[in-house]
Amino acid sequence: MDAETQRDIQPIPPFHETNDETPVIGGGPSVIQYWAEHTLSSEGPKLWETLLHHSACLSCSWGTGGQKGGFTNEEGEKLQRCMKSVEAISSELKPAIAPQFFEKHSISELQKLTSMEADRLGRWSFPVILRAGKSHYERLSWDEIYAIAETAFHKTPERIASYSSGRSSNEAAYLLQLMIRAMGSNNLADCSDLCHAPSTTGLKQMFGTNTSMVSLENLKKADCVVLAGANSAYNHPRLMNELIKLRENGAKIIVVNPMMEIGLVKFGSPAFPASLLQGAEISSLYLQPIPGSDVALFTGIQKSLIEQGLLKEYYLRMHTEGWEAVVEQARSTPWDIITETCGVSQREIEAAALIIGTSERVVFGWAMGITQHVNGVDNVFSIANTALMTGNAGKEGAGTMPVRGHSNVQGFGSMGVTVKLKKEIQEALEKLLGRPLSKVQGYHTRDLIEAADAGKVDTLLCLGGNLYGANPDSMQAKRAIGNIETVIYVATKPNLGHFNGLAKQNTIVIPVLNRFENPHKVTTESGNNFVRLSDEGKTHLKDADLISEVEFLTTIAHRILGHDPVDWRKLQDTKYVRQLIAQTIPGYEKIGTIDETKEEFTIGGRIFTEPTFATPSGKASMFVTPLPKLTLPQPQDFGVPESTPGVALALMTGRSYSQHNTVVYKIGDHYRGMPHRNCILMNHLDAEPAGLQEHQRVTVQGDAGKLEHVEVIYGAVRPGAAVMFYPEVNVIFKAHIETRSGTPAFKRVPVFVYAESTAA
Ligand SMILES: Nc1nc2c(c(=O)[nH]1)N[C@H]1C(S)=C(S)[C@@H](COP(=O)(O)OP(=O)(O)OC[C@H]3O[C@@H](n4cnc5c(=O)[nH]c(N)nc54)[C@H](O)[C@@H]3O)O[C@H]1N2
Ligand SMILES: Nc1nc2c(c(=O)[nH]1)N[C@H]1C(S)=C(S)[C@@H](COP(=O)(O)OP(=O)(O)OC[C@H]3O[C@@H](n4cnc5c(=O)[nH]c(N)nc54)[C@H](O)[C@@H]3O)O[C@H]1N2
Ligand code: SF4
Ligand SMILES: [Mo]
57, 232, 404, 524: residue to mutate for ligand 3 pocket, most atoms within 8 A of CB: 57
Q: Cα of 194 to ligand 4 centre, how many Å?
A: 7
Sheet holding 280-281, edge to edge: 26-27, 266-268, 280-281
Cβ-defined contacts of 39-44 (< 8 Å, 24+): 39/86, 43/90, 43/93
Judge contact between 402 and 376, C-beta under 8 A.
Answer: no
Buried b (16+ CB within 10 A) or exposed e, 523-558: bbbbbbbbbbbbeebebbbeebebbbbbbbbbbbbb
- Per-residue pLDDT reduced to its tens digit, 189-238: 999 999 999 999 999 999 999 999 999 999 999 999 999 999 999 999 99
Q: What is the pLDDT of residues 348-359, one digit of tens each?
A: 999 999 999 999
Pocket lining: 84 vs ligand 3, CB cutoff 6 Å: yes
- How many Å apart are CA 498 and CA 466, to the nearest integer? 8
Identify the pLDDT of residue 563. Answer: 87
Instruction: Choose the weakest-confidence range: 60-69, 196-205, 213-222, 443-452.
Output: 60-69
Element at 37 (helix H, strand E): helix 29-39
Task: Delimit the domains of the chain by residue range.
Answer: 3-12+196-402, 26-92, 105-194+408-599, 635-755
Is a pLDDT exceeding 50 seen at residue 22? yes
The larger pLDDT score, comparing residue 759 to residue 75, is at: 75
With 60 as the cut, is the pLDDT of residue 2 above it?
no
Nearest to 300 by CA among 252, 346, 253, 254: 346
Under the phi-then-psi rule, with left for phi > 0, alpha for psi from -120 to 50, and beta for the rest, what region is 309? left
**Is any atom of ligand 3 closer than 6 Å to the C-beta of 236?**
yes
Q: Which residue, 412, 415, 438, is CA-closest to 583? A: 415
Q: Which CATH architecture has domain 635-755?
A: Beta Barrel (2.40)
Instruction: Please compute the mean of the pLDDT values over residues 427-439 and round it to a whole number.
Output: 96
Q: What are 75-98's pLDDT values in tens digits?
A: 877 767 889 999 999 999 999 999
- Which atom of ligand 3 approaches the CA of 73 most closely? 4
Å from CA of 237 to ligand 3 middle: 6
In this predicted structure, the answer to whether residue 674 has a pLDDT above a threshold of 60 is yes
Q: Do domains 3-12+196-402 and 635-755 have the same CATH topology?
A: no
Evaluate if pTM is beyond 0.85: yes
CA of residue 196 to ligand 2 center, whole Å: 13
Distance 88 CA to ligand 3 centre (A): 10
Q: Which fold has domain 105-194+408-599?
A: Rossmann fold (3.40.50)
Distance CA 57, CA 524 (A): 10
User: What tens digit of pLDDT does each residue of 581-611 get?
Assistant: 999 999 999 999 999 999 999 999 999 999 9
Identify the pLDDT of residue 389: 98
If you average pLDDT over residues 267-294, what whole number do you get? Answer: 93
E strand intervals along 476-622:
486-491, 506-511, 522-525, 530-534, 601-602, 620-621
Name the residue type at position 581: I
Residue nearest to atom 21 of ligand 2 (CA): 465
Mean pLDDT of 239-254: 96
| Chain mean pLDDT for the chain | 95
Residue 82 beta carbon below 6 angstroms from any ligand 3 atom? yes
759: pLDDT confidence band, cut at 50, 70 and 90? very low
Residue range 462-506, pLDDT digits in tens: 999 999 999 999 999 999 999 999 999 999 999 999 999 999 999
The answer to which of 218-222, 256-260, 559-563, 747-751 has the lowest mean pLDDT is: 559-563
Average pLDDT over residues 181-196: 98
Backbone angles phi, psi at 490, to 5 degrees: -105, 115
Residue 372 has pLDDT above 50, yes or no: yes
Report the nearest-CA residue for atom 17 of ligand 1. 235
> CB of 59 closer than 6 A to ligand 3?
yes
pLDDT at 9: 64
Q: In whole angstroms, what separates CA 602 from the centre of its chain?
A: 21
Confidence of residue 11 (pLDDT cuts 50, 70, 90): low
Q: Is the model's pLDDT at 265 over the cut of 90?
A: yes
**CATH number for the domain formed by residue range(s) 3-12+196-402:** 3.40.228.10
**Residue 760: per-residue pLDDT:** 44
292 Cα nearest atom in ligand 1 = 35
Report the 10 Å Cβ neighbour count for 313.
12
In 3-state terms, what secondary structure has residue 562?
Answer: coil
Q: Which ligand is nearest to the Cα of residue 255, counting in written order?
A: 1
pLDDT value of position 66: 79
CA of 66 to the centre of ligand 2 (A): 22
Q: Is 64 in the pocket of ligand 3 (CB under 6 A)?
A: yes
Cβ of 63 closer than 6 Å to ligand 3, yes or no, is yes
Instruction: Render 623-660 in DSSP notation, one character per residue.
Output: ---PPP------GGGGT--TT--EEEEEEEEE--TTEE
Residue nearest to atom 39 of ligand 1 (CA): 229
Q: For ligand 1, say whether the CB of 659 is within 6 Å of any of its atoms.
A: yes
Which ligand is closest to the CA of 241, given by its number? Answer: 3
| The pLDDT value given to residue 96 | 98
Q: In sequence order, what are the residues at sequence separation of 6 or more whose Cβ sits closer than 8 angstroms to the Cβ of residue 427?
A: none
Q: Which residues line ligand 2 (CB under 6 A)?
A: 165, 167-168, 191, 194-195, 368, 372, 405-406, 463-467, 470, 490-493, 495, 512, 514-515, 549, 653-654, 661-663, 726, 729-730, 746
